[in-house]
Structure 1
């Protein structure tokens, strides 16, 4: 492994929130740092670690997985260790169990004595814990700079900011953003996540408070972003956080081919590829809404009928339930499967997203706007049709609309409803029609910003240089 001079290597702990949209960016950053010869301890629960992709052999000695069993909670089903395992209303109990990892994490940190810990938005208690143990801390945001900039300062997030008291206040850009932008929530988007703004949930702590306290109590903030793509938003973060904000690049997904030797995954890809091979180049709509978002029954109906009306071939990865304890199992419209046989596939299990997006028959991606999915689409030059559901997805969609990188399906502002006709028209616009050419071209234009290996490498080198220098400066100050 290449080393930067004779410097002592860093030992960095990473502690992501229990969601696959959080594991993967953390793991990509962990792999990039491990490649430089530093030691990473990636901490999560046993079942989640077992579900992560295998590592390339050359990283095995630099990236270790640490399994901390998730404490048992009365309201949390057995084997539920990630958001994908439970219905949306059970996620607060998952946060409560995650908060109960503080004692075992403390023991691990005391025994391993790392230099730094990178933590996610949920464990708001890690900053003070690290500080008490003499460990430096990084709040690592997998949310983008525009999303974080829109949400505001740590003091505002923990609830001492007078400006935004009602959901309606989130429908316009805030006063601390000094440039013109459309980045804001739509009414239905903020109402769908209004529970995360309040402390009145089963975990007892709002997502906003978790985030604000996490930022307030860290030494530095690292963010999944690149300054060439959104410099003005990174500046907003520096202004409102009043501490160093380091972009770490877009962290495009990398796969290690030995993974594909896992029989089940190989078999899935084999039949998916056979079907894609039979379709015309650039005509297939790939539809997937990530591991978090689950459409309502009404939304599934309109999406299905919209795909049917579009006349385009499609491959739809549909999560019909969030884990085995979700009683609300989604159903396709009567007769739909017969009518689309041969033209469309609905897959209700895991599918290899990056490989599907890379297939030449895929012409576009109907997505929830989760940033990992967005980055993967850009990696494979596929234009985006957007249908947001929760969390930061609305803010991501505004950025993509603003930059003409994605087109949002028209919806009712109040309740977020949409029609099958608007689904069909949006898909045809972005994949087929002359008017939508801008979306097909823009994605190709920005690709280099997102996937350029040298640029990504530079971000990681800059981050590591900063971490090393910061540590030295603080130690020097202590000695002095």
Structure 2
């Protein structure tokens, strides 16, 4: 029997309902479609509306890509109507209800799978939808897990899970993670929730995620092999070789309109944003954004804003609405912060066109929470980073950026604050530390220039990896070939 061609394969992509998870999967869908695979992305109404224009443009251009809308059971889980994404939760006290709704999606997704003709050749689903293991087994569909993290982070977490070294040391004492290519230290308080649960009781869910991810046929990673060298190889050993690094997925964007609309409707007009840059010297602006889920307390936002102001560099500061946004706005108004800094500060309230901003020549550094999407976007732009991790795997990503890649400077964050938890006094990052880190990253001396040179070289490597003949392009082809072989075997049975 002849091999099955890409155009005869149907990939179904199912993201977790949070911007940092949906965005790279939309990018992945476009990459797969460019290789001839028929791609369907399953989204709930809110995300359907957020991404329909980007996907429709791709479809009109001739790519075999489409959206499939499913209902999100908000009300059954005790959530407000239309609350379908982690960033739309009015309070993180509702995070438990959100995960109840996620679990209820199983029956809804299975109903859609019953209707699909042909049945998908493969399902690529976010690892945080562990019940998809059950659905794929029922419908006999190969399941590939999508991990929004790096191979570095995956290897660190695997070695922690196996060694349990974090369980034998006091929570504030640094320890070295065993079995890594580099000597990497953490304290328990900096680790993700599986190892540092805090006050939440998601242990059972996290264990289920870990188990079902390990049982998946393989793992697709938004990274490129040159970025993480030995870490990719070690992670492949753990996964029996079924690891495909196909990123950076943000490089799938090929026009400014897609850059401006990536993820959500921007809170600032792209033209207005670009106009602000026009009067700035190349490499002079620091862009500060702590991600779509971060909601700083008013005192911590004040430290961030004043640290940026004290650095004397032009800066863009992105504010996310949260429970303390009124208090923050009151401080901005009463202290005259916006008026005082208006000659060199652009304050963006809400969603920012991040990829568009980072690609502008005026930007010289990125103050980031070290979410993996943001980290990769900075790498692609060839920018050094000021690292300000908050929760999840962000402290792990910081180690990769600062210690392994040597393209970042930390603000000295010491403690992870999980979603829904109160900010701890020991987690405070002062304006002085923020100012110092910004000045080091933007420094024009020998150390700063070397950091920039290394960041720019990684940016060039990233772009080469996704071009024809590059490592990520090759991995996409290998993934498609692998699924085609499975489809052929199934057809011949």
Q: Compute the TM-score of the two structures, normalised by the length of structure 2.
A: 0.84
Which runs of 5 or more structure 1 residues have no equivalent in the other structure?
A: none
| 2:462 maps to 1:460 | no
Distance 1:80 1:467, change over 3 A: same
CA distance in structure 1 between the partners assigned to 2:199 and 2:132 by the alignment = 19
Alpha-carbon deviations, 1:19-40, whole Å to 9, x = none? 1111111111111111122111
Distance 1:206 1:167, change over 3 A: farther
The aligned counterpart of 1:237 is 235
CA distance in structure 1 between the partners assigned to 2:395 and 2:230 by the alignment = 19
- Counterpart mapping for 1:193-232 below 5 A: 193=193, 197=197, 201=201, 206-232=204-230
Alpha-carbon deviations, 1:405-435, whole Å to 9, x = none? 1111134569232211111121111112413
Please state how far the C-alpha of 1:349 moved relative to its aligned partner: 2.6
The aligned counterpart of 1:21 is 20
CA distance in structure 1 between the partners assigned to 2:212 and 2:60 by the alignment = 33
Q: Report the 3-state secondary structure (helix = DSSP H, G, I; strand = E; otherwise coil) of the residue aligned with 2:54.
A: coil
CA RMSD of aligned residues (A): 3.0
CA distance in structure 1 between the partners assigned to 2:175 and 2:104 by the alignment = 37
The aligned counterpart of 2:345 is 344
| 2:82 maps to 1:79 | yes
The aligned counterpart of 2:485 is 469
CA distance in structure 2 between the partners assigned to 1:61 and 1:19 by the alignment = 25
1:437 to 449, 458, 469: 449
The aligned counterpart of 2:433 is 422
Distance 1:471 1:198, change over 3 A: farther
Aligned residue pairs: how many? 460
The aligned counterpart of 2:310 is 309
CA distance in structure 2 between the partners assigned to 1:261 and 1:242 by the alignment = 39
Distance 1:220 1:193, change over 3 A: closer
Alpha-carbon deviations, 1:109-156, whole Å to 9, x = none? 222211111111211111132112111110111111111111117xx8
Conserved? CA contact 1:282–1:362, under 8 Å: yes
Please state how far the C-alpha of 1:205 moved relative to its aligned partner: 5.7
Distance 1:206 1:280, change over 3 A: farther
Q: Report the 3-state secondary structure (helix = DSSP H, G, I; strand = E; otherwise coil) of the residue aligned with 2:409.
A: strand
The aligned counterpart of 2:37 is 38
Please state how far the C-alpha of 1:16 moved relative to its aligned partner: 0.9
Conserved? CA contact 1:364–1:430, under 8 Å: yes
CA distance in structure 2 between the partners assigned to 1:166 and 1:18 by the alignment = 35
Distance 1:433 1:74, change over 3 A: same
The aligned counterpart of 1:126 is 132
Q: Compute the TM-score of the two structures, normalised by the length of structure 1.
A: 0.87
- Counterpart mapping for 1:31-70 below 5 A: 31-52=30-51, 53-55=53-55, 56-58=58-60, 62-70=64-72
- Counterpart mapping for 1:133-148 below 5 A: 133-148=139-154
Please state how far the C-alpha of 1:388 moved relative to its aligned partner: 0.7
Please state how far the C-alpha of 1:234 moved relative to its aligned partner: 2.3
CA distance in structure 2 between the partners assigned to 1:128 and 1:167 by the alignment = 37
Q: Report the 3-state secondary structure (helix = DSSP H, G, I; strand = E; otherwise coil) of the residue aligned with 2:130.
A: coil
CA distance in structure 2 between the partners assigned to 1:7 and 1:314 by the alignment = 46
Q: Report the 3-state secondary structure (helix = DSSP H, G, I; strand = E; otherwise coil) of the residue aligned with 1:94.
A: helix
Please state how far the C-alpha of 1:378 moved relative to its aligned partner: 2.2
